[in-house]
Structure 1
Amino acid sequence: MARTRKGVIAAAGALSLAALVLTGCAGNNGNPLSNDSGSKGSSGTITVGSAAFPENAILAYIYADALSDAGVKTDVKANIGQRDRYIAALKNDEIQLVPEYTGNLLQFLDSTSKVSSSDEVYSALQTAVKNGGGGKLDAGKAEVLDQAPGQDADSYNVTKKFSDDNHVTSLADLKNVKGELKVAANPEFATRPYGIPGLKSTYGVSATLTPINDSGGANTLKALLDGSVQLADIYSSDPSIAKNNLVTLADPQHLIAAQNVVPLISSKVASAKVKDTLNKVSAKLTTDQLSDMLKKSYNDKEASDQIAKEWVKANGF
């Protein structure tokens, strides 16, 4: 992911939610790492980062709150940006922990990987992280802990009208659609294996990208609903899919790999207590819970840190 990823039909609602994606999830304005000079991992504090969408910020606060309750000093730097930025921050010791998604992280670290099931992806990811992911991490200095049963994957979505008019319920059906196909997604979708290149190589479908940098949020949804694009990459746990009666296209060739939530952590702070606490968090995180937390974020406008506190308390940490 990551990555949310983040009513929304009306223009005002879309703009409001877009603001939430950019600012509400983090409690930080501008660059959340801008005031970190000289404090890299120096105080015994684990700094938890997040990508720039609400679900990931909520998970970062969950990690931080659970660790704090276990007696570990933590800080949160949410809303850092896309994967390239926060992985660099982890490598540079600006942060020491970040919630991740197994399939997308694996493809980021090893673009040659072809595995797709949860267990295969997790095993390959452990190896890729250990080996440093082609230099994107330092070999032997980071690790992934237990993966959660909960997943939040990229998913291709169309409107119900487009699905009915074109008899499309699967990515494989797209090759029979006449006319141009545009996909709204983050800019990196142009090169990701599960993005535009994967549509062509796996399904024989030619499409062009309409880059919208909100991780499947309000502006991406608006482009789909107003017909500017025919497909939109929206995270599978996003409540806007059900709310707007969107059709998530089946992926019979497993273009999109499993996307279990997993902690990515600097090995230097991965003590037995830290690992045990985070593994207990992962064991309790389900896909339904991810969706419920996003409903609180999008529909009820609850702050990410408050949603996290509620989850941590409800789950006995």
Structure 2
Amino acid sequence: MKNKKLLSAILLVIILIAGAIFVFGRNSQAKKADEPSKSVIKIGSKDFTENLIVAELYALALEDKGYKVERLSNISSSLIHQSLISDEIDLYPEYTGTGLLSILGKSLETDPKKVYQIVKDAYKEQFQVTWLDYSKANDGQGLVIRTEVAQKLGISTISDLQQHASELRFASQGEFDQRDDGIPGLTKTYGVFNWKSSKVYDNSLKYSVLENDEADVTPAYTTEGQLVNKDKFTLLEDDKQFWPPYNLAPVVRDQVLEDNPDVAAILNKVSASLDTETITKLNAKVDVDGEDYSSVAKEFYQTIK
């Protein structure tokens, strides 16, 4: 009799435990069903190395936080802004100077904070798009000189360059001689550049031209991968701040941020890890060493996650 009562008690306990587990499981499933699922974020990128790398960093950071990401790469620079405001993509890496001059058509401004505030306010009002934090990485226009020549003549700034122009061979890319942000604008700011000689070369050949001692100076962008080789190439300081800043930042549709408030913090962390030297080294791994941009981005992301 005692054994029957004991058995009944044990069965009762088992039934109660099983019931509790069942109820807990149902409640957990219901809770998960009520929780909103992470959105699919469509990340665009322009059609050059640096933008591809940075867009991939954004993608990896969002995936690491549970988001599903759709990558829409190699969009033409002339079309990507329209892709954003047409809801074809949700975000992409943009440059403050591009936003100021190319998208908004504003007047030239050289203070990085002012440029950022202008584009941030205008994009919010006109496009319902938010500029998140901008990074220290500045992919702007610059002038590069052979390091050997720079050291010989004591040239470290564009002012120094202008004073020694008559001793230097200039490798132009043609349109640079006519553009407002090229020689005409530089002349207004720094004075006339009376080059020893000036020839037009294809942009893709400029570093070969310098390396082969066919010219001494060439226009360049400040984060080009070849600039990691400082023994050969020296990027001159724009000491009179002629060129506007082109700081990198994520531009994101407002609706995306409303639906996914944590996206801002996730992407801002990526931006905080990027400066001009870092971006130049990442570009070099792709454009100089021949590595795949997604592998380069993944390797770097492991150091900042």
Q: What is the TM-score with the length of structure 1 in the denominator? A: 0.69
- Distance in 1, Cα, partners of 2:91 & 2:199: 32
* Per-residue Cα deviation, 1:36-66 (whole angstroms, up to 9, x for no partner): xxxxxxxx64322222221211101011111
* 1:151 is aligned to 2:138: yes
* Per-residue Cα deviation, 1:237-261 (whole angstroms, up to 9, x for no partner): 3342242522222212101233322
2:124 corresponds to which residue? 130
Q: Does the C-alpha gap of structure 1 residues 168 and 111 become closer, same or farther in structure 2, counting only changes over 3 Å?
A: farther
* 1:231 is aligned to 2:217: yes
The SS at the match of 1:75 is strand
Q: Does the C-alpha gap of structure 1 residues 313 and 256 become closer, same or farther in structure 2, counting only changes over 3 Å?
A: same
1:196 corresponds to which residue? 183
Give me the CA root mean square deviation.
Answer: 3.2
Deviation at 1:164? 5.9
Query: Which of 81, 84, 87 is the equivalent residue of 2:81?
Result: 87
The SS at the match of 1:57 is helix
Amino acid at match of 1:246: F
Structure with the greater alpha carbon radius of gyration = 2
2:65 corresponds to which residue? 70
Amino acid at match of 2:275: T
- Distance in 2, Cα, partners of 1:219 & 1:124: 36
Identify the structure with the greater helix proportion: 2
* Worse overlay, 88-97 or 178-187: 178-187
* 1:178 is aligned to 2:166: yes
Identity of aligned residues (%): 27
Consecutive unaligned residues in structure 1, runs of 5 or more:
1-43, 132-138
The SS at the match of 1:178 is helix
Consecutive unaligned residues in structure 2, runs of 5 or more:
1-38
- Distance in 2, Cα, partners of 1:288 & 1:168: 21
* 1:277 is aligned to 2:272: no
Is the CA contact (8 Å cut-off) linking 2:135 and 2:249 kept in structure 1?
A: yes
Q: Does the C-alpha gap of structure 1 residues 221 and 87 become closer, same or farther in structure 2, counting only changes over 3 Å?
A: farther
2:55 corresponds to which residue? 60
1:220 corresponds to which residue? 206
Query: Which of 240, 248, 251 is the equivalent residue of 2:235?
Result: 248
* 1:141 is aligned to 2:128: yes
1:160 corresponds to which residue? 147
1:315 corresponds to which residue? 304
Deviation at 1:107? 2.5
1:292-311 alignment runs, 5 A limit: 292-311=281-300
Aligned length: 260
The SS at the match of 2:79 is helix
Amino acid at match of 2:147: K
Q: What is the TM-score with the length of structure 2 in the denominator? A: 0.71
- Distance in 2, Cα, partners of 1:124 & 1:145: 13
Is the CA contact (8 Å cut-off) linking 1:187 and 1:211 kept in structure 2?
A: no
2:252 corresponds to which residue? 265
Q: Does the C-alpha gap of structure 1 residues 186 and 313 become closer, same or farther in structure 2, counting only changes over 3 Å?
A: farther
Is the CA contact (8 Å cut-off) linking 2:148 and 2:232 kept in structure 1?
A: no
Q: Does the C-alpha gap of structure 1 residues 273 and 198 become closer, same or farther in structure 2, counting only changes over 3 Å?
A: same
Is the CA contact (8 Å cut-off) linking 2:45 and 2:92 kept in structure 1?
A: yes
